[in-house]
Structure 1
Amino acid sequence: MATETASTCTGSTLLQPISDIINLPLDQVNFVVCQLFALLTAVWFRLYLHPSKTSTFVRHVVATLLGFYLALFCFGWYALHFLVQSGLSYSIMIFAGLEHMHKYCFVVALGYLSFCQITRVYVFDYSMYSADFTGPMMVITQKITSLAFEIHDGLAKKEEQLSSSQRYLAVRRMPSLLEYLSYSCNFMGILAGPTCSYNDYMAFMEGTGYHSITEANGKENGKYKINHPSPKSDVISKLCTCVISLGVYLSIYKMVPVERSIDDSFISSTPFYQQVIYLYLSMLSLRPKYFFVWTLADAINNAAGFGFNGYTRQGVPRWDRISNLRIMDIEFATSFKTFLDNWNIQTALWLKRVCYERCPINPTAATFLLSAIWHGVYPGYYLTFLTGIAMTMAARAIRHNVRPHFQGSLTHQRIYDVITWAGTQVAICYTVVPFVLLAVETSLKFYKSWYFCIHLLCLLLVLVLPVKPRHLRAKEQQANSLEGDSQQADSGKHNHHSATDKNCNQKHKST
């Protein structure tokens, strides 16, 4: 198996003996070894290329060159696609007008990513290339498009036109080519991300990230303030999470493969409730693979000193600024939205910033569609995200119409949480089956075996339970806020008049 992979891997074959010994595909071995190398390099980068010891220019050069080296090691000359995509987008940023630059960059970056995904899957035989070079391109696409929108906000819009988050993210000057390549292709995130804002990355490279966050938390955590806290404990904790996640995935996933859910004998001989339990266990065993990859990527950035997010009330440093998931919040999510908000967090933020907050027509559907296009060209992705639209609308309807009836007591809240947890887990598993199976035929076979029951339930809930449009909900919240402010003001006036009357009475009595 490993020998066959050696001829198909597009990257270095230096680690082929290790691949043969542990019987894992060479591209996976290359990826893990490169990430471990990046982890060790990140520690060296933080200790010996600290902003207090060297210039920002040197840090950018080293981070960029190491990033391209890792890309070449894993993907060979296919890594040149990273340069082509970045170069095209940077040229647009420089030569296109600020008014429409962000739109052109968005179309070109996403279009080039889609072109590479189509050629990899449909032009070349997919089985020939086990190393998916479009994976890193997905993260680069996020960074390129985010930066284009941030530059547009900073240079082409007025302050009053921006939301508070957009003001924070806005980039006030055009990045140099070195800064741009360092941001998009640095060694800490070239293979698995996560994405981050340009301002956060530049603050890290210049060594100012600690100061701004420390000052913001200074009053609350004054006696705990440390200008450059160590990420050691968080890195070790995340590496332990990686080991556990990888062990769980390797030991359990093969015991409950998702493909068994569409096996004819399994469908015909297994009671439906057991099929539901099996599907949950199957997806539960699949998630640790993502836990491993994203947590390791987070640990690499933390080891380099990137990801500091202030202090807790107890004075403990937080290193979750660019974390991509919260495992416990995922496994115990009680709503579809909560699950999505804690899964692939940085991608969710990217979708929110470049699509949901800016799309004037049906932003929910547009966001899911963009997510499908960004993930790739397999039909299963589109089935998953189209189902996700229905799930989101149904979950929103339940929350607005059913949840208020369970808030009367703690017992009722607990009952509601248990029911919604079970419903959320089943809904998530049902939704992402096509994402794993990829093909239309197998995905529809699974849904047919379930009689499309959850699709029909979502449709029924959306039709029966009304939900106000987003702009009306926003107006209602604004009106409630203004009403609350008005009541407080009236209360203040009443108290003021009462105090005045009381003083007058006292003066009258004394007279």
Structure 2
Amino acid sequence: ELLILLTGAPSLQSQPLSSVSLRILCAFQVNFVVCQLCALLTAFWFRLYLHPSKTSPFVRHVVATLLGLYFALFCFGWYALHFLVQSGITYGIMILAGVEHMHKYCLVFALAYLSFCQITRVYVFDYGMYSADFTGPMMVITQKITSMAFEIHDGDEVTDISFDGFVFRRMPSLLEYFSYNCNFMGMLAGPTCSYNDYIAFIEGKPFRHREQETNGKLQGKTRLNDPSPNTEVLRKLATCFISLSVFLSVCKVFPVERNVDDDFIATTPFYAQVVYLYLSMLTTRPKYYFVWTLADAINNAAGFGFNGYDSDGLPRWDLISNLRIMNIELATSFKVFLDNWNIQTALWLKRVCYERCPYNPTAATFLLSAMWHGAYPGYYLTFLTGIVVTLAARAVRHNVRPHFLGSPTHKFVYDIITWASTQIAICYTVVPFVLLSVGPSLKFYRSWYFSGHIGCVLLAIALPVKPRHLRLKEQHSLSSTQPLHPHCGTEHTQIGQRSYSAATHAESQMIKTQKQTSKHPASAWTRPVGRHTNLGSKRRHQDLALT
């Protein structure tokens, strides 16, 4: 029963389970927990005995991949073959499609294959059951496949989108590719990560291991020895224990299904329903805290996740962390909550969709998130509701918040009001995500008279916000028209002269470079050298002259 509560869906409490289904569910979840605990112990061994200073990247790739596939086979049986099929076909697409279109083809195929498996699991197997939920790891693999395809594409072309550290300019080998997708540290529960960060971890590159002064500035020196993650791993394991204890002690006290119970709706005052909604949804979150924090601890135990040093000189192990618990519970806006919940998925959605969609990026991002999560109708109801809630929250923040920044007291009152509003809005939005089905979800919204939807639509209409591309255009125009500092005239003139001469030299080399590239065409996996590169260099020199 503990394992069912730990990794099963919240809606399982209200669904009858046959004895066979219950045994299958328990077996799957026992395997899942055992594999995660084994992965934690293996991660310590991997860091100590297969350290980059003691062995080659090839050995680390092979061991990480074989262990990941073994854990997948142990936990999911032959369903684990889907991981290899999805990864193998997309690798072929990357080779055959070329850099210009590979990111689009990989995104379409990976999502289509994931959706096919999710629909099969939902409508062929027991509805609402999480037995043999092999699509969970496939969701993470889909993120990694598409992230890699977009990183290769961005590394080959100069675009207006800048993701430092998220581009590279060579096709990974087959071993590197499967190691990135199927390593034992993130095979079962993620989180996803950048390919560059993973390769740097495997090869032991110290480019992230930089010391910081107390004021937070980089000294530019690198440490010879890696910082120990043991303290951070113990802290995260303690967080896991507390989260698990809280979840098991209160999850049955406030079942989410009671929000749609007829007697509860008929006899409970509305203010009490609001309070119960908050408490019932609050008790579902520690389960995710446990799973994601344990996954983060596994990666840290292997030495992956180091993110430099803070202003006090202490090592940070939050490179691939998936949540910030205090920021979630104290969030004063819908955006702050989403930015700290499932962080790596939010970054993936931002890089793949939000920053690239020319029109309605918010709606497109929420729809992509719904498709990625699965085939349950409740997911789509949640993310469609999230669109209007996000637009309303953005309108309030842009139009109302500036009026409360005049004094600390006003700001404190604003924070209290927005905290309560954010928590209720999150709970209102996420109820279908937990209930999964259309009927109970619509019943809940009807009991609230769709007040959340109506209120958000009215706020979004009454408090309009300029489209994102217009706001970015205004910010760019303001930054480009700022005057130079009066006390830095000589220095800026010298920098400007050097920049202008460098840019002029780049222009003079353009024709020669184009002739060379016409004789020696660039490989499909290398960034072309020519007009775009020189213009990018010129643009960087001009920006330097402005600063």
Considering the TM-score relative to the shorter chain, is it more than 0.5?
Answer: yes
C-alpha separation in 2, matches of 1:331 and 1:401: 24
The reply to whether residue 489 of structure 1 matches residue 485 of structure 2 is yes
Looking at structure 1, the residues matched to 229 and 386 of structure 2 have their Cα atoms a distance apart, in angstroms, of 37
- Relative distance call for 1:5 and 1:87 in structure 2 (3 A) is farther
Instruction: Tell whether the 8 Å contact from 1:39 to 1:303 is kept in structure 2 after alignment.
Output: yes
Q: Is the 8 A contact 2:210 2:308 kept in 1?
A: no
1:131, distance to aligned residue in structure 2 (A): 2.5
| 2:347 match: secondary structure | helix
Letter of the 1:175 counterpart: P
**Structure 2 residue aligned with 1:174:** 171
Residue 148 (structure 1) shift: 0.6
Give the 3 Å change call, closer, same or farther, for CA 362–98 of structure 1 in structure 2: same
Identify the range of structure 1 (283-292 vs 223-232) with the bigger mean alpha-carbon deviation: 223-232
Distance change in 2, residues 1:372/1:241 (3 Å)? same
Stretch deviating more after TM superposition (357-366 or 259-268)? 357-366
Residue pair 1:10, 1:75 contacting (<8 A) in 2 also: no
CA contact (8 A) 2:166 2:196 kept: yes
CA distance in 2, matches of 1:275, 1:444: 16
Amino acid at match of 1:43: F
1:126: how far off? 3.5
Q: Is the 8 A contact 2:395 2:459 kept in 1?
A: yes
In the TM superposition, what are the counterparts of 1:418-497 in structure 2 within 5 Å?
A: 418-483=416-481, 485-486=482-483, 488-489=484-485
Instruction: State which drifts further: 375-384 or 95-104.
Output: 95-104
Q: Which amino acid aligns with 2:420?
A: A
On the 8 A contact 1:71/1:79 being kept in 2, the answer is yes
Counterpart of 2:363?
Answer: 365
Q: 1:98 Cα shift?
A: 1.8
Report the secondary structure of 2:309's partner residue: coil
User: Which amino acid counterpart does residue 194 of structure 1 have in structure 2?
Assistant: P
Question: Where does the alignment leave 5 or more consecutive residues of structure 1 unmatched?
Answer: 12-23, 497-511
Gap change, CA 1:128 and 1:482, over 3 Å in 2: closer
Q: Following the alignment from structure 1 to structure 2, what is the Cα–Cα distance between the partners of residues 327 and 175? A: 35
Q: Which residue of 2 aligns with 1:381?
A: 379
Cα distance change, pair 468–286 in 1 and its aligned pair in 2 (3 A): same
Q: Is the 8 A contact 1:153 1:162 kept in 2?
A: no
- 2:194 aligned with 1:197, yes or no? yes
Aligned to 2:501: none
Which 4+ residue blocks in structure 1 deviate beyond 2 angstroms? 1-11, 123-129, 161-164, 214-227, 478-483, 488-494
Q: Is the 8 A contact 1:42 1:304 kept in 2?
A: yes
**Corresponding residue number in structure 2 for 1:260:** 258
Match of 2:306? Answer: 308
Residue 6 to residue 135, structure 1, CA distance change in 2 (3 Å) = farther
**Do the aligned partners of 1:323 and 1:345 also contact (CA within 8 Å) in 2?**
yes
Amino acid at match of 2:456: C
Distance 1:480 1:93 in 2: 40
Find the aligned partners of 1:76 and 1:334 in 2 and give their Cα distance. 44
CA–CA distance in structure 2, aligned partners of residues 148 and 216 of structure 1: 32
> SS in structure 1 opposite 2:359?
coil
**What is the rounded CA distance, in whole Å, between the counterparts of 2:466 and 2:211 in structure 1?**
37
Q: Which amino acid letter does the alignment assign opposite residue 133 of structure 1?
A: F
Task: Check whether the contact 1:86–1:144 (CA below 8 A) recurs between aligned residues.
Answer: yes
State the distance in 2 between where 1:261 and 1:146 align. 38
1:441 maps to a residue whose letter is G
Preserved contact between residue 6 and residue 26 of structure 1 (Cα < 8 Å): no
Preserved contact between residue 10 and residue 78 of structure 1 (Cα < 8 Å): no
For residue 183 of structure 2, the aligned residue among 181, 186, 196 is 186
Pair 493,187 (structure 1): closer, same or farther in 2 beyond 3 Å: closer
1:49-88 alignment, distance < 5 Å: 49-88=50-89
The structure-2 alpha-carbon separation of the partners of 1:6 and 1:316, relative to structure 1 and needing over 3 Å to count, comes to farther
1:214 is aligned to 209
CA distance in 2, matches of 1:162, 1:59: 36
Structure 1 residue 478 displacement after superposition: 2.2
Q: What displacement does 1:221 show?
A: 5.9
Taking a change above 3 Å as real, the CA distance of residues 400 and 48 of structure 1, as seen in their structure-2 partners, is same
Distance of aligned partners of 1:215 and 1:142 in 2 relative to their CA distance in 1, 3 Å threshold? same
Tell me the alpha carbon deviations over residues 104-154 of structure 1, each in whole angstroms, 9 at most, x when there is no partner: 111111100000001111123346761211000000000001001111112
Query: SS of 1:111's equivalent?
Result: helix
1:449-477 deviations in whole A, cap 9, x for unaligned?
A: 00111111101101111211111111222
Distance in 2 separating the partners of 1:26 and 1:350 = 32
The answer as to 2:342 corresponding to 1:344 is yes
Q: Structure 1 vs Structure 2: percent identity of aligned residues?
A: 72
Kept in 2, the 8 Å contact 1:10–1:131? The answer is no
Q: Secondary structure at the match of 2:318?
A: coil
**1:361 aligns to what SS in structure 2?**
coil
| 3-state SS in 2 of match to 1:181 | helix
Q: Could you say what secondary structure the match of 2:319 adopts?
A: coil
- What is the CA distance between 1:164 and its match in structure 2? 3.2
How many residue pairs get aligned? The number is 475
| Matching residue of 1:291 | 289
* Equivalent-residue separation in structure 2 for 1:224 and 1:489 (angstroms): 34
Cα drift, residue 361 of structure 1: 1.7
Q: Is the 8 A contact 1:192 1:297 kept in 2?
A: yes
The answer (yes or no) to whether the contact 1:214–1:227 under 8 Å persists in 2 is no
SS at match of 1:93: helix
State the alpha-carbon separation in 2 of the partners of residues 128 and 40 from structure 1.
30
RMSD: 2.2
Matching residue of 2:509: none
CA shift, 1:362, in A, is 0.9
CA distance in 2, matches of 1:221, 1:288: 39
Residues 268 and 466 of structure 1: CA distance in aligned 2, closer, same or farther (over 3 Å): same
Contact between 1:9 and 1:129, CA under 8 Å: does it hold in 2? no
Q: Distance in 2 between matches of 1:129 and 1:445?
A: 24
CA deviations on 1:23-76 (whole Å, 9 max, x unpaired) are: x82222211111010000000000000000001000000000000111011111
1:490 offset after TM fit, Å?
Answer: 5.2
Residues 91/172 of structure 1: CA separation in 2 closer, same or farther (3 Å cut)? same
Query: 1:95 Cα shift?
Result: 1.6
- Which residue of structure 1 aligns with residue 276 of structure 2? 278
**Residue 432 and residue 57 in structure 1: after superposition, are their counterparts in 2 closer, same or farther (change >3 A)?**
same
Letter in 1 for 2:485: A
Distance 1:128 1:438 in 2: 11
State the shift of 1:102 in Å.
1.0
Letter in 2 for 1:142: Q
More off after superposition, 122-131 vs 378-387: 122-131
The CA deviation string for residues 409-433 of structure 1, in whole angstroms up to 9 with x for no partner, is 0000000000000000000000000
Q: Contact 2:114–2:138 at 8 Å: present in 1 too?
A: yes
Residues 383-431 of structure 1 show CA distances to partners (whole Å, capped at 9, x for unaligned) of 0000000011000000010000000000000000000000000000000
